[in-house]
Amino acid sequence: MNALYILWLRQVKRHARSRARMVGALGQPLPFLFAMGFGFGPIFQKAQGTSYLQFLSPGIVAMPILFTAVFSGIELVWDKQFGFLKETLVAPVPRLQIVLGRILGGATVAVVQGFIMLAVCVLVGFRPVFGASFAGAVFIMFLIALLFAGIGTAIASVVEDMQGFPLIMNFLVVPMFFFSNALFPMKSAPGPLRALVRLNPVTYGVDGLRGAFGGPFRFGLGTDAAVLGVLSACVIALASRLFSKIQI
């Protein structure tokens, strides 16, 4: 456990030192928040009878979490290319602890990014419920971060090209974000699209945040947490297996 803590702390400090990356992670959701939140707000208000900013903000909070978490894997590609990973792998530490330290470190930073984005949303008019359900929101944020940090680590374990990693991640994560219930309600969408949305793990993360912040649940907090928890466990197991095959 001491080795796991050290690996986690090292990963957190590594992310924290990259201020440009932390600021850049907020640059992506801000245009969505201002352009869509205020641009589509009146239209959504007339069509749905509720505030679009209240609907949109949980998805905007989830956005930097999943992108920061998944891009934490790029450091593994960097370490492999420049030989830094050898210093870690030769240490008398099980590779499972190394993987968990990296994933937990990336997830921790991603959750911090989510809290920063939540503060921005509150400043522009989002009104979440800061009651007992807020603990559920924090738990969902951590599960989202854990899942996507695991995905980033799993892919980074088999990818050797530094330039190819962002392309793969954008090809995977951007569609997952858009084909979820983060930006628009999907109850009036065609049947095949609704089925695709239900298969998307981001849908359950956003639904959990939206309900925990005081909005309506579509699936329920228990279902959202169960889906994210099971998927996170599977992805971490896969990442550990792929990481164990890295040759030094």
Task: Check residue 209 and give its pLDDT.
Answer: 95
Distance of CA 166 to the CA centre of its chain: 15
Task: Check residue 63 and give its pLDDT.
Answer: 92
Residue 79 CB-half CA count within 13 A: 22
Q: What angle do CA 115, 68, 208 make, to 5 degrees?
A: 55
* Tokens encoding 58: 């949980």
- Taking a C-beta distance cutoff of 8 angstroms, is the pair 152, 70 a contact? yes
pLDDT in tens, 154-210: 988 888 777 777 777 778 888 899 888 888 887 767 778 888 889 999 999 999 999
Q: How far apart are the first and last CA of the chain?
A: 24
SS3 125: coil
Q: pTM of the predicted model, to two decimals? A: 0.89
Residues of the chain with pLDDT under 50: none
- Taking a C-beta distance cutoff of 8 angstroms, is the pair 9, 102 a contact? no
Longest C-alpha distance within the chain, in Å? 62
